[in-house]
Chains A and B, each alone.
Chain A
Amino acid sequence: MTFNGLTRRSILAGGAAMAAGGSDLLGFAKAWAQASPFKPEAGAKLSLLRWKRFVAAEDDAFVATLDAFTKATGVTVTVSNESYEDVQPKASVAANTGQGPDIIWGLHSLAHLFPAKLVDMSDLCDYLGKKYGGWVPLAEAYGKSGGKWICIPIGTSGAMINYRKSSVEKAGFKEFPADTAGFLELCKALKANGTPAGFPFGHASGDANSFVHWLLWSHGGYLVDKNDKVIINSPETVKALEYAKALYDTFIPGTVSWNDASNNKAFLAGELHLTANGISIYVAAKNDKKDFADDIHHGYYPVGPVGKPQELHLCYPAMIFNYTKFPNASKALLAFMLEKEQYSKWLSGAQGYLTHLLNAYDSDPVWTDDPKRTVFRESSKRSLPASGIGKIGEAAASALADFLVVDMFANYVTGREDIKGAIASTERLAKRIYR
């Protein structure tokens, strides 16, 4: 799925952008290139690997940005796309072999798998932070290792509650419940009405991890404490598992086998009335069936016994590998991407699929143009890092990739193991990863 930055696609997209005020993007780009503190090396050529877009308009805006960058600085950028689960293996191989794309735009704690192989980006991140109202805590958590920035969190893809307003009202709820107890009641009522909820317990890297970590964290259970000591065997985890079992009994059948696409399909087909997902279901519905889209509403994951939001959303950081010949050009590109003139267009292209991590973008019109997007503005602020309260690093990334928490919940809710067994086997795996 490789395409050059200047192929048919980008020319089409670039052409469209040109027609619709793209020329001021170019104008800005030229002025920016003069003023920017990050000067590309002469004759620099960059290659960038990114996760494959979910919303076409986001990619178009991305390509238009790269196009303007190339025109203003003369630096060509070759982009390749990879399904977001395949970015990590590629990045790992690149880090291991010391060759590959100059910039990789991946997800979660990817940068922390090989912090020593990355370019220090503190100057870039400080520059952007000062200019745009500071970074949210999640950005600092993901971005920094040993006091310096090793990656730049570009956006967060929020997994928020998606529900059918009519079904929730029919179940007797005027407002979407804000706590876990009310949420369970709602799911029971939805099942009774034949309009069930469903969340994945399968190996769905994005959706399942986001869901089960909310289950665990909102009940105060964590895989490890802040010193990376494994603390999964706790009364809080037991409560989370019991709650999950009660929820699972109300779900549409088959969620144990769901992957990341399954809930989108079932929701759009009208079989599923409550799930958690990015805004892509709503965006897809808005394009095809207007009435259906009007019925889709978004909400926050309910707050559990711990009394504050404990969610996990997908963060996408970009990193520069230190084997690159063009570190300055790479920094210049990333700085350019996050400047208001591009970033704002990009956010609106993503239609809520991507949430900023720089505070100044809270007031961006993308969040108010369509009120159904407003919920997604908070994605970066409501999310813990993928490591929970533990240290971000290769152990946390490994535990996530190995579906430790997903399997623990799936083991128990499907009745394959009892509570003690499910926790014990997870504890054993976790102790190995965190040794």
Chain B
Amino acid sequence: MSEQALPMARQRLAIAEPTAWERLVTNRNWLGFWFMMPAAAILILFLAYPLFLGVWLSFTDTRIGRDGVFIGLENYEWLSDDSIFLQSIFNTVLYTTVASIVKFALGLYLALLLNERVPFKAIVRSIVLIPFIVPTVLSALAFWWIYDTQFSIISWSLKQLGLLDTNIDFLGNPFNARVSVIIANIWRGVPFVAITLLAGLQTVSPSLYEAATLDGATRWQIFRYITYPLLTPIIAVVMTFSVLFTFTDFQLIWVLTRGGPVNATHLMATLSYQRAILGGRLGEGAAIATSMIPFLVVAIMVSFYGLQKRKWQQGENND
């Protein structure tokens, strides 16, 4: 553009009334809307829509390969009286509660240990992460061998030591099977908790510890009144995720037990898959999956708000 043309153009701009379209693309408020669109589109397309579809399916009698008709709450009525479904709720709650508590305790313990001066710190920390890095299906297969009724390494070792005469029936007895799958889940979940809490521990300023030590605080008091309060936001987040992962666990159970023995380890997720995909009853499977939502919401509420009421969680600054 030449130097003479520039003022001309400016003049024209100043004179011309902006069209509705021009206002739409330049107005600050609308601009915010445009910038938000991609994120909203992604959320609606990949999260809200599938969720809504799943809930909708649960009110129909859809089968794979055939559209269903709206049947209202019939699926839920049926499930409320279905002993296998009720058992799967019990299993899921038990599995999540026990595994999450143990994972938290072990994870916190590990994190505190790793936060001390240990030799080969970096290597030890990476080793701790290994269970989390191994693909779930692989670790589940490894556990499947460990728990095998005939070839379990645990049974074999105990027999060699003369402590046992027969193999332990890890996955064939309901109680043993529940304990076994929970242990496998804990093994897999502890590193996530430990490493995240460790990251939280390292943000605690050493000067606070020094001051407390000068004031003559015991180690327990230091943990109780400095470490723990400063760690709670991280704990809330970690436990929320941990509970979510555990509650929706699928691969581990599917590889180890398929929900057996006699449905003693069927979780809601595995039962939903079995009925919806393998059994072809999409509506009923969707109803089982939808039934997980209230439990998840409660679990999140408990671990997120129950553990700690801090202002940042309500969107204000921490002071």
Contact = CB atoms under 8 A, between A and B. Distances in A.
A255 interface: yes
Interface in A137-183: none
A92 B171 contact: no
Interface string B146-186: 00111100000000000000110111111001000000000
Given A203-B259, A254-B150, A402 B277 contact: no
B281 A398 contact: yes
Interface stretch (A264-272, A311-319, A326-334, A370-378): A264-272
A402 B261 contact: no
Contacts of B280: 92, 113, 394, 397-398, 401
B261 A256 contact: yes
Interface string B108-142: 00000000000000000000000000000000000
B167 A203 contact: no
Contacts of A387: none
A429 B274 CA distance: 14
A259 interface: yes
Contact of A95 (B65, B166, B169): B65
Interface stretch (A39-47, A62-70, A279-287, A408-416): A408-416
Nearest to B177: A257
Contact of B171 (A117, A252, A257, A429): A257
A256 B167 contact: no
B257 A402 contact: no
Contacts of B275: 402
A202 B170 CA distance: 13
Contact of A254 (B63, B171, B259): B171
A253 B277 contact: no
Nearest to A200: B260
B262 A92 contact: no
Which of B170, B261, B281 is packed against the most chain A CB atoms within 10 Å? B261
A257 B261 contact: yes
A421 to B, nearest CB: 9
Contacts of A93: 64
Interface residue tally of chain A, by bracket?
35 or more
Contact of A402 (B169, B172, B278): B278
Given A257-B171, A410-B260, A416-B262, A265 B281 contact: no
A207 to B, nearest CB: 12
Which of A89, A203, A429 is packed against the most chain B CB atoms within 10 Å? A203
Contacts of A407: 84, 262-263
Contact of A203 (B83, B84, B166, B260): B260
Interface string A404-435: 00010011001010000000010011001100
A425 B83 contact: yes
Which of B83, B84, B151, B260 is packed against the most chain A CB atoms within 10 Å? B260
A256 B172 contact: yes
A429 B66 CA distance: 21
B78 interface: yes
Contact of B274 (A252, A256, A401, A411): A401
Given A202-B172, A254-B149, 5 more contacts: A92-B64, A256-B173, A407-B262, A411-B262, A432-B78
